[in-house]
């Protein structure tokens, strides 16, 4: 049983106040933006299709309506090639549309939430846990039962308490 009959995609259109994402993996290269990632690896410019991706329009629409979209990525340095791409191209692109990013760098400290999965939390009421295979391919999401939502709001709160704004982190460690 889940807390929502809506799909993850539908929640991006229907959340009312905020959508939070926790990212825990070093490689999502098989989950979208594959062409752009290959261009990044080859030292080519960003493809026009990547710059104008549907996700950018989704973020812009939400943030222009006064909604907050933000995420924390738990990572350790050195960055994988995929993280160099995601942070250098993806976060920069999405930030221009209004999405906020934070980094919880566990290079020199313990991860305060080592068992937290990737998830989206909508309005502190609905949580979609995301599944990936070992190669970083997105397999789908499942909404948790209402009695487990507090577990994910706690993950968010701990992540935010230990994270720093992406722009500050990138100024210190970015490429």
Q: Does 136 map to a domain?
A: no
* Residue 138: inside a domain: no
Q: Tens of pLDDT along 103-140?
A: 999 999 999 999 999 999 999 999 999 999 988 899 99
Per the rule left: phi > 0, alpha: psi between -120 and 50, beta: everything else, 71 is beta
| Domain hosting residue 164, numbered range | 9-128+147-173
Whether 4 maps to a domain, the answer reads no
CATH of the domain at 157: 3.30.870
Q: How far apart are CA 104 and CA 146, in angstroms?
A: 27
How many domains are contained in the chain? 1
CA-CA-CA-CA torsion sign (143, 146, 147, 153): positive
List, in order, residues 6 or more apart from 40 with CB less than 8 Å away: 46, 84, 85, 88, 89
- Does residue 134 fall inside a structural domain? no
Measured distance CA(60)–CA(10) in Å, rounded: 16
pLDDT given at position 135: 85
The full DSSP string for 5-69 is SS-HHHHHHH-SSEEEEEE--S--TTSS-HHHHHHHHTTPPPPHHHHT-HHHHHHHHHHHTT-EE
Number of H helices, E strands in the chain: 8, 7
Token pair of 125, please? 């009421």
CB 138 within 8 A of CB 31: yes
In a domain, 1, yes or no: no
Task: Classify residue 2: in a domain, yes or no.
Answer: no
CA separation for the pair 3, 6 (Å, rounded): 9
Residue 3 lies inside a defined structural domain of this protein: no
Residue 44 belongs to a domain: yes
pLDDT tens by residue, the chain, 175 residues: 344 567 888 999 999 999 999 999 999 998 888 899 999 999 999 999 999 999 999 999 999 999 999 999 999 999 999 999 999 999 999 999 999 999 999 999 999 999 999 999 999 999 999 999 988 899 999 999 999 999 999 999 999 999 999 999 999 998 6
């Amino acid at each position: 049983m889940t807390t929502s009959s809506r799909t993850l995609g539908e929640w991006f259109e229907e959340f009312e106040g905020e959508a939070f994402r926790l990212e825990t993996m070093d490689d999502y290269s098989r989950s979208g933006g594959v062409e752009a990632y290959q261009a990044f690896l080859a030292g080519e410019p960003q493809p026009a299709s990547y710059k104008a991706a549907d996700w950018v329009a989704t973020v812009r629409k939400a943030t222009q309506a006064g909604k907050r979209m933000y995420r924390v990525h738990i990572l350790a340095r050195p960055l994988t090639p995929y993280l160099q791409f995601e942070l250098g191209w993806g976060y920069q692109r999405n930030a221009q549309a209004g999405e906020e990013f934070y980094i919880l760098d566990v290079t020199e400290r313990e991860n305060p939430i080592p068992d937290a999965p990737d998830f989206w939390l909508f309005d502190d009421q609905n949580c979609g846990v995301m599944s990936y295979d070992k190669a970083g391919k997105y397999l789908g999401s499942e909404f948790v039962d209402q009695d487990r939502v507090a577990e994910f709001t706690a993950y968010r709160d701990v992540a935010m308490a230990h994270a720093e704004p992406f722009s500050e982190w990138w100024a210190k460690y970015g490429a």
